[in-house]
Structures are given as C-alpha cells and as structure tokens.
Amino acid sequence: MDRKTVIVVWLIALALASFRLVDAQQQPGKVATIGWLGNRADTTEDIAGPGTLLRRMLAELGYVEGKNIAFEFRSADNKPDRFPALVDELIRLKVDLILVSDPIAALAAKNATKTIPIVFLLGGDPVVAGLVDSLARPGGNVTGFTDIAGVLVGKRLELLKETIPKLSRVAVLWNPRTSPQQWKESQLAARELGLQLHSMEVSSADKYEGAFKEAAKARSTALAVTQSPLNNSNPKQIVDLAAKNRLPAIYPRRDFVESGGLMSYGADRTEPYRRVALMIDKILRGTKPADLPVEQPTKFELLINLKTAKALGLTIPPVVMMRAEKVIK
C-alpha cells in the first residue's frame, strides 16, 4: 500500500470515527430510575424535605431530573402491609435502584429482588434487622446508611437527665414494629442513669393520644421520642401532645424542635443524604452494593427551644446550653 493510499484510508477512518462521536453525543443518555419507597401518609410531605436534600446532592454530582435520572415515589400511607405490593409495582417498572426509608420496606424489597440494588436510609441496626450480613461487608444487593438510633437513645436520656437533674420517671415513645432495639437500649441506659421508664408503644398515628394519657397516669414527668418512620411523619402531633401534657421532651430530629419541641439530639440532617447520594452515584456507575460498606453518621447536633422551655417553666443548665448547635429564642 503506497503512502497516498495510507493517507486516504486514515482520513476515511478519522471521518467515520468523527461521525460516530457526533452521533453518540446526539443520542439521549439512559435515564436512571430510582424507586423511592416510604411510609408517610402524605407522600408530598414525605418527599419535600428529604427529597429536596437528596435531589440537591445528586444535582451536585451531575444528575438532572428528566435528563439522566427520574424518581418513582411510592408511599404505604402508614400501612406497612402495603410494602410488598408497592415493591412489586416498582420491580414491574424496572427501576434501576430502590431507595427505602423504612426497615419493613427494606425487608420487603430484599425479599422481592436479589438483582435490583437496594439502598436504605434507616434509624435502626441493619444487621439486627436482617438486611445485611455486617456493616463492613453487607453482602447481596443491599447497602445504605444507618444513623445508629439504638446508640443515640441512651445519649438522649442522658441529656434529658442533665437538663432536669431531679428527673426520675420518663416515658419512651417507640414503635414495636420498627424500633424494638431502641426500646431495649433505652432500658439499658435508664438503669445506668437511675431512671424509671414507662413504655409508650405506638404503631399507628391514631394511638398517640391514648398513649400520652397512659403516660400521664403512670406519672411520667418527661418524654423521650425514638427514631421511627411513624414518629418522623408526625412531629407536630407529638409535639402538641407533649405540650398539652406539659412533658419536657427530647426528640431524634431537629424538625420536632422547629415545630415547638423542647430539644433534639441526632445525626446532622444533611450528612445522610449526601452520603446516600454518593452511594447511588457509585451504584449507577457499576459498583455492586455488596462492595459498599454501610455508612454511619460522623456529625451530630443538639437543638434547644428556649420558648418551649419558658412555657414549661424550665431553665436549661449552662452545661447543656453550651453544647447546642442551635438555640431557638
């Protein structure tokens, strides 16, 4: 082959490659579909806060809704028995990943598929819940983020005791379906702190009022609220009932305090969504969930509402005030 022929062949090959590149750039990219399964009765409310945060984190990673990512939101309307059917619906839609914020939903998803990646954002221990083999090596198609709620319940009781030194009787609001481990950890912490606990078992929103009446009969003088999808869905109702019964309360999330609750202690609000967004990005790029360790929070925040403290006739000790990240006056 002479020099001129080689040049012609090379130019033709270059032109064909250029056409392929232009054609590839003009082809719309694959839109990754995330099935988001939650528990709240108001799906719009369920997605508004967490959804906005997650969308923002994903946008920072280059994901644009309608262009390269889409969401299919499903809510069980506080009826956990609906989760299996909702998971089946997402599987039929051939979603690329299932995101869950409820342990029962996570188990339903795990039992339904061994191939679709599942990412959870939970408050309990995923090992105890049977979702993963271990935090370091989750195994299978499931991984996610846990905010170590079982560990934090003891810290909340400790803060409540520091705030009210003479405290002896505390009601603990927990869900027997989703937060039994937190109740066990509360009992262990209470023994060390010299506190007597009253169990407020609530598995549906219509039982809150009755549970508060029982707590009053048990002469509870303060309240500790555990982390659960049900409690997280009803901050205003819980805060209003605590105020009605004049119970100083500590909560797992800042939105309770912003709704009028006394104080909260928990994981930083934005960190879980940032870490989950990074997980989703890695999985959509080909990383297997089994190769992504379950992550835990590194930042925590204490919020105090001085308006509520004043209404309760309570003075927050300086040692507690000094540790607060935010104070509502």
Q: What's the confidence (pLDDT) of residue 40?
A: 67
Fold assignment, 149-267+300-328:
Rossmann fold (3.40.50)
At 240, which amino acid appears? D
Instruction: Give the chain's end-to-end CA distance (angstroms, integer).
Output: 86
CATH number of 32-146+269-291: 3.40.50.2300
- Which tokens go with 260? 């009028």
DSSP 259-277: TT-SEEEEE-SSHHHHHHH
Provide the phi-psi class of 327: left if phi over 0, else alpha when psi is between -120 and 50, else beta: beta
CA–CA distances in Å: residue 156 to residues 170, 225, 233, 265? 11, 9, 20, 6
The backbone torsions φ and ψ at residue 120, rounded to the nearest 5 degrees and listed phi first, read -110, 155
Rounded to the nearest 10°, the torsion over CA 127, 265, 308, 219 is 50
What are φ and ψ of residue 118, in 5° steps? Answer: -120, 125
Q: Identify which of 104, 52, 103, 59 has the alpha carbon closest to the alpha carbon of residue 73.
A: 52
- Averaged pLDDT in 10-residue chunks for the chain of 329 residues: 47 43 45 89 44 87 94 88 96 97 92 97 85 94 90 94 96 92 94 97 95 96 93 93 97 94 92 94 96 94 97 96 94
Torsional sign, CA 292, 270, 226, 233: negative
* CA separation, residue 131 to residues 11, 125, 184, 201 (Å): 57, 9, 19, 24
In the chain, residues under CATH classification 3.40.50.2300 are 32-146+269-291, 149-267+300-328
- The candidate with the shortest Cα–Cα distance to 272, out of 65, 76, 122, is 122
Report the candidate in 326, 261, 328, 329 with the shortest Cα–Cα distance to residue 300: 326
Give the Cα separation of 276 and 99 in Å (integer).
Answer: 9
